[in-house]
Every structure is written in C-alpha cells, then in structure tokens.
Structure 1
Amino acid sequence: MITLNPISLTSTQKIMITVSDIEVAHTRIKSFIRKTHSEKSILLSQHFGSSVYLKHEQLQKSGSFKLRGALNKILSLDKSIGERGIICASNGNHGLAVALAAKYAHYKATVFLSKTANTFNTHAIQSLGAKIVAVDGNCLAAETTARAFAQKENLSYISPYNDPLVIAGQGTLGIELNQDIKSIDNCFISVGGGGLISGIGLYLKAYNPDINIIACSPKNAPTLHHSLAQGKIIEVAESETLSDATAGNVEHDSITFELCKKIIDDFILVEESEIKAAMRLIAAKKRIIIEGAAAVAVAGLMQQSKNYRDKNNVVILCGRNIVLEKFCQAIQS
C-alpha cells in the first residue's frame, strides 16, 4: 500500500468539476438510473472486524456505474449534435452504458471494439440498438479508430473518464452515499482511468474532508498508481487481469490525474489471487456475482483490513458484467 499526501493544485491546474456540477448531473440523470442501495453487511462486518457497507452499483441498469457518466454527457448534448450520432470505444461496460444512454436519448450510437471482445458484451451492446464496429488489434486500436471516425464525421465521441461531464455523472454515487450512510471513515474504490474515484471522492470530501478515499488496482494493471508515484502520466506495461474494466493506460492529458492527486489518500495494489478470493467471498457471504473490477475494491479491504478495524468502511461494488464461465472458474481456482 502506498500513502499519497494530498497535493494542492496550482492556478493552472484548477479542478474542472464542482459539487454543484455533480448535483446538476444528479438532477439530469436520476429519472433514468437506478438508485442502488447502500447496505451494511453483518456477515462482512463480522468477517473484517469493522462496519462494512456495500454500495450495490452492480445492480445499475447497464450492469455498472458507467451509465451515470454516459447519461450525463449524452443528455447534456445539444439535440442537433446528439442526433448526428454518438461514438465510443469499449469492449465492455462503457460501451454498454453509452448504448443504453443513447437509447434513452433517442440517439444512434456506434461502439468501436476490438475483435477480441467477448460475444456476451458484443451481443448485449447490439441488443440495445447500437451499431458495432469490430477493429483489428487491441482496445487502443479501437479507441484510435473511433476517435478518428468521430472527428472525420463531426460526431460526438464519449470518453470513458476524461470528460468533466462524465466524471460529474459518476460523482452522483457520492450523493447517494451521503444520503444513505451517516458516517464514512474510508471508501474503497476500484481505479482504472480515475473517473469514478474522482467524482465520488470530490463529492464526499466536500462534506467530510477527513474521509479517506482509497484507490484499489490490480498489480497487473497499475498505470494510475505508478503515474501518481512518478508525478506524471506514464505508460506502464500491463499484463492480463480479471479486472479488465480497470486495465489499460491513462490518456496523457486526462483531467482525472490532477483530481486523483488531490483526492486519493491511499492506494492499494492487489494480486490476481486476491481478486479471485474477493469474488469468492462476496459470492459466499452475499450470494451475488460481481465482476473483477468490483472485486478489486473488496480485495483492497481484505488485504489491509487490520489497518481499518473498528471503522466505517464503504466498498463500491462497481459492476457485474462478467461472463458466467469466467466467474465460475475464478471462484473455483
């Protein structure tokens, strides 16, 4: 675990998202999303020796938190712009979220993905009415192709995290946590590009500056962790991880980097074996399926539980979109 001291932003690095932006986002999207419940788990509290609250965002309509940010961005577009079409690149949760958000807004969505994307996600995205464009190569190739197409055709490209409106949408989770849980000492959040933790952390710290925002990532995909340690966004060689939703390098100009420097208090890296153990623990204690990215936050608490005993600990279960066979294999290994 690495502890990061909060860094004040300079005048040229002003935070681009405010509490008011998140509250406006909540008003904009609340009739389209599901307010997922926050639950104190008696069994997990006994297991860890602390008060453990689960935020069940895996029950969101698209199967992950991504719907919030996608909706806030898409519903903010001028109608004449949205009607031209929506573009994104994603092999999974972001693509599902954009497809559903575009459906709600009555816009046409095109999702670029790599040919290696699993058929479950591909079919789910298509079932929501989005057009699929399969690209040779990896996710980066799909993103590069999507951006070039959006620019050429003058269409709106929806970033998964590098956009103030997307971050504000993810921050609406913080509003619900503030409403549902009286006192939070620590909040464990899985981190990829940093959009989710930026939005939630900004909102929660505005009301409780003493709260600890704890970022959790796989050791196999530690790009944001290493970048924060280096003080700049760097490219990191990553390897395969069950938490594919948090994998991948961070855009070099991402606004989430400065936000994360300000917001994150601790950073925990977890092994693949710990991710599997976390998936198995939630299945055993709660009888629910979570994806690898959600398990990363649980694994963070598991690994460092002795440091958070007798505290009010919140764990964000950020998604459930995992192929059943992959889930079964993970919890049995």
Structure 2
Amino acid sequence: MAAEAGTPTPADVYRARARIAGRVARTPLLSSPRLARACGADTVSLKLEMLQLSGAFKLRGATNALLALAPEVCARGVVTASTGNHGRALAYAARAEGVACTVCLSGLVPENKAAAVRELGAEVVRTGDDQDAAVAEALRLAAEHGFSYIPPFDHAEVIAGQGTIGLELLEDAPDLDTVIVPLSGGGLLAGVALIVKAINPAVHIVGVSPERGAAMIESLRAGYPVEVAEEGTLADSLGGGIGLDNRHTFALVRGLVDEVVQVSEGEIAAAMRGLYRHERLVTEGAAAVGAALLARGGVPGGGGRVAALITGNNVDMDAFTRLVREND
C-alpha cells in the first residue's frame, strides 16, 4: 500500500483542482424557486454533481488520489471498497490512466451499481453483508497483491478532491449563507467544509444523513468513532461505517461542520419525486437528502442564500420509475 499524506489542508484542495483539471466536469448550479419557497430561503441553488461522467461527485476524489500515486506504485494496480459510486469513479479514473482496478462490494450494493463498475473494466469482488466486510477484503487484496488501497472517504487526497466542489460553489455563488451536504463517511462533507470555512468562516455547513445507519452522526454524538449496524435505505450510497480507526473525516467534520441532521425514508422518496417532477432531475436517494431537508421547511442556519449538493444519479431506472409514479 502506498504512503498517504497527513490530514488535508486548504492548500491541498487547490492542488487537487490543478491535478484533476480536464479530467472532471465543472458542474453548474441550478436555481430551485420551489425549494426556496418550501424552506423560506431567499434562494436555493442545486450543485449538479450528478453530471460527472461517472454519474456522481466521487470522480473528483478518486481521480485526485489516483493521480497522486507515484507511477511505479500506480502500475501495480489499485483496489477499493465501495457502496457503489466511489468504486465506479475509481474504475473510471483507472481506465483513463491504464491502471488495473479491483472494487470490493458488499451484498447491500445494488446490482446496477456493480454492473456499472464492471462495464468500466474493473474487477468486482462481491463479499459479505456490509461495507466493513468489503473494506476487510480490499485490504487483504492490497496486502496480497501489492495494490494501492484508495478508500472511499477517509483519505487525504480523496477529501481534497471532493473539496474542489466547495471551491466551485464559492466562485459561482460567493454570497452563500448555507451549504447542505450529504453525509456518510464524511469525505465529501469534510472536503467541502475544509475549503468553504477557510474562504468564508461565516458560511453555515450542514451535513444530512438518512435515519438508517447514520454512522458519522452516531459517532459525533458519542464523541468518538462507533460502529453502527448498516441498514437498507433509499440512500444506499450513504451506507457503511466511518471506521473505528478513522484518521481524518471524523475530526474534520467535528471541527468544521455546524450542524448534522437526519431525514426519513419517506422524505427521501418524496424529495426524489420532487426533483424529478419539478427540476427534471434523475437522482439517487443519497443525492436527494439535502432537498428532503429543505422540503421539510425552515433553513438550518437561518435562511438567506442556500446551496444543496445533488451528488449522483446512479439509480436503478426501473426502481426509480416506480418510485416517481407513486403519490406522496
């Protein structure tokens, strides 16, 4: 396994932007007057990370971490464990650089996400019933074959890559008051909070998790990383623990994030329907948690100008079609 840098800094986010330039999309903001009315904000802007070529924001961190490896290390191949989107992103980045890639997925990962990884030329290893089992297998393969393990969130270069979203946000909407970010292992939230707080400490940063299996939120309540049983959820990309040996994301989220909130399965489903019917967006459940929070009414941090990250669209379309045809 390759050596990793220490906890990321804002300078690492700027370096990540230079490293991944031309390999990831600069995604647009879409105004949502509907959600602004629902929550009482002056404006709501949706950051459309589902427009990345891999279908989710994860391409930023995966590409940055891969490109940060020394060429001789990269040549031995990379491996990861994923709830789907990070694996797809790493497979995409690895194929672009001609690097062998293996992705370990638990039985909870939907088959459409496993198939998408295979289509990009990566080897998929199905193992266990939760993300912890997938991580254990990925680490075993790294040790056995000399692969570099690139985890989905608790990695300095992954965090820095995700932080480039925050740079784009404040360049395109410099007067933001609140930024709402989906929360699982915390790589996205840590990266965005790291750079946004460095540029404007007054911005209110909110992390949103589903009610089921919110490992980071339970860890924050306990004051240290804890294990939480992984449960099935519409927001399947937000599943999995944060790791009892968490090195980066727990401390960054605890130190930089102003508020964490949970939304129900019903709220997530309604948000997916709303984003499709009104903003014409196809989203997976994890991407809709910010919209679910805003649709509830009220704005964390008190209102004003709000941005919510719409993080991915890697959803089984048959299941999505059934969901959006349902009545709220």
Please indicate the TM-score interval, normalised by the length of the shorter structure.
over 0.9
Sort the Cα spacing of 1:61 and 1:253 in 2 relative to 1 into closer, same or farther, 3 A.
same
Aligned to 1:138: 130
Query: Which residue of the other structure, out of 294, 299, 312, is the alignment partner of 1:301?
Result: 294
Contact 1:110–1:130 (Cα < 8 Å) also in 2: yes
Q: Distance in 2 between matches of 1:225 and 1:261?
A: 10
Normalised TM-score (structure 2): 0.93
How far is 1:68 from its partner?
0.4
Q: Distance in 2 between matches of 1:275 and 1:307?
A: 18
Query: Which residue of the other structure, out of 19, 23, 36, is the alignment partner of 1:28?
Result: 19
Q: Secondary structure at the match of 1:260?
A: helix
Q: Is 1:153 equivalent to 2:135 in the alignment?
A: no
Question: Where does 1:1-333 land on structure 2 (aligned, <5 Å)?
Answer: 16-50=7-41, 51-115=43-107, 117-254=109-246, 255-305=248-298, 310-331=303-324, 332=326
Sort the Cα spacing of 1:257 and 1:183 in 2 relative to 1 into closer, same or farther, 3 A.
same
Aligned to 1:9: none
Q: Secondary structure at the match of 1:315?
A: strand
> Percent identity over the alignment?
36
How far is 1:106 from its partner?
1.3
Normalised TM-score (structure 1): 0.91
Q: Aligned AA for 1:267?
A: V
Unaligned runs of at least 5 residues, structure 2: 1-5
Q: Distance in 1 between matches of 2:303 and 2:123?
A: 49
How far is 1:203 from its partner?
0.5
Q: Secondary structure at the match of 1:87?
A: strand
The alignment yields a C-alpha RMSD, in angstroms, of: 1.7
Q: Distance in 2 between matches of 1:306 and 1:264?
A: 15
How far is 1:138 from its partner?
3.3
How far is 1:24 from its partner?
0.4
Q: Distance in 2 between matches of 1:85 and 1:174?
A: 30
Sort the Cα spacing of 1:167 and 1:269 in 2 relative to 1 into closer, same or farther, 3 A.
same
Q: Distance in 1 between matches of 2:179 and 2:143?
A: 38
Contact 1:242–1:292 (Cα < 8 Å) also in 2: yes
Q: Distance in 1 between matches of 2:57 and 2:243?
A: 20
Q: Secondary structure at the match of 2:298?
A: helix
Q: Secondary structure at the match of 2:225?
A: coil
Contact 1:112–1:133 (Cα < 8 Å) also in 2: yes
